[in-house]
A and B are shown apart, each in its own frame.
Chain A
Amino acid sequence: MNDAKSLFEYLLRLADSDLILAQRLGEWVGHGPVLEEDIATTNVGLDLLGQSRLWFAYAGEVEARCNGTGRSEDELAFLRDAGEFRNLMLAEQPNGNYADTMARQFYFDAWHELLLRGLTASTDARIAEIAAKALKEVRYHIERSADWVIRLGDGTEESHRRMQAAVDGLWMYTGEMFEVDAIELALIDAGIACDARTLAAPWRERVRAIFADATLAVPTGTWMQGSGGRGGKQGVHTEHIGPMLAQMQWLQRAYPGAQW
């Protein structure tokens, strides 16, 4: 794979995790536990959607360098099928109850913040710029989701039980965040990508500290979904992504090029 193609793949990975998680958070619109949470959670979703657009726009330009024509943000978001998506499996997991949503968000935010910090030092100036912009928003996201993990974990007996079940259930989707494949290795050597392997230790430390405050046990499972280069980043997904894409894409599929 040549450099531009690898870069395009890497940008899709960044964009797709943001987009898919944004779509999941958007599903809470009108269903939040209270009005304020409804607004706050969907604000996080909108932040991620905005970030995905920046990555998609750049991905389209890089694609044009490879093929002569690059796809638009809308084409990349709405006209690819499940197997062409490069998001982490974690991002596509269903919302479940509010503890499930906040556990997913906390695992993701803690990783996302570290990743973006790393990317601000990218030798690719465009990547460094987008990462710096996104980092400002993500620093707030992690504060919020960590806060909810603590509140629900150290809340009532019922909220503790649900939060523990949520962090246990999603644990097996966290391993993929720290794996790298040949595509990323080449970009890491060039100083373009952030070496995700180096994020594992600080991520675990963050999880340990927050779970201690939340009176939650850190899951101990070592078997991880999507490891060994067969994860979301390579286009292998869980059964949840299909119905979700159907909902997200139907309008552009039924009315191609529709705008509002």
Chain B
Amino acid sequence: MSREWPLWEIFIRSQHGLAHKHVGSLHAPDAEMAIKNARDVYTRRNEGVSIWAVKSSDIVASSPGEKEPMFEPASSKVYRHPTFFPMPDEVKHI
């Protein structure tokens, strides 16, 4: 068994936000300590109202090497972008 504590990714929901946002990572021996450490490392300046901690090893990530097939679709398919709808000027925040 490794002597290092496992790494956790920390997500904080801010005072005004609805979604938890990734703020960084830290080491902790278990979930309970991960929450406590996150509280001390990331929320001491009124940043948040809720904390999620996820073991880094449990996160499935896309591979950087697959950037082209994953994220560069042909830009000729303009119909994929909803840019053809007339938008009244009064409508904001879209």
B residues less than 8 Å from A39 (CB atoms): 37, 40-41
User: Is A35 a contact partner of B36 (Cβ separation < 8 A)?
Assistant: no
Interface majority SS on A: helix, strand, loop or mixed? helix
Q: Please state if A34 and B40 are interface contacts (CB–CB under 8 Å).
A: no
Chain A residues with Cβ under 8 A from B36's Cβ? 40, 143-144, 147
Chain B neighbourhood of A143, CB < 8 A: 36
CB contact list, A21-62 vs B, under 8 A? 34-37, 39-40, 43
Q: Which of B11-70 contact A (CB under 8 A)?
A: 26-29, 32-33, 36-37, 39-41, 44
Beta-carbon contact of A40 and B40 below 8 Å: yes
Residues 148-183 of A contacting B (Cβ, < 8 Å): 151
Does residue B71 face the partner (Cβ distance < 8 Å to A)?
no
Q: Establish whether residues B26 and A36, one from each chain, have CB atoms under 8 Å apart when the complex forms.
A: yes
In the bound complex, CA of A77 to CA of B29 (Å): 38
Q: For the complex, is B5 an interface residue (Cβ under 8 Å from A)?
A: yes
Please indicate the chain A residues that have their CB under 8 angstroms from the CB of B33 in the complex: 147
CB B2 to nearest CB in A, in angstroms, measures: 14
- B binding-site residues for A, Cβ under 8 Å: 5, 26-29, 32-33, 36-37, 39-41, 44
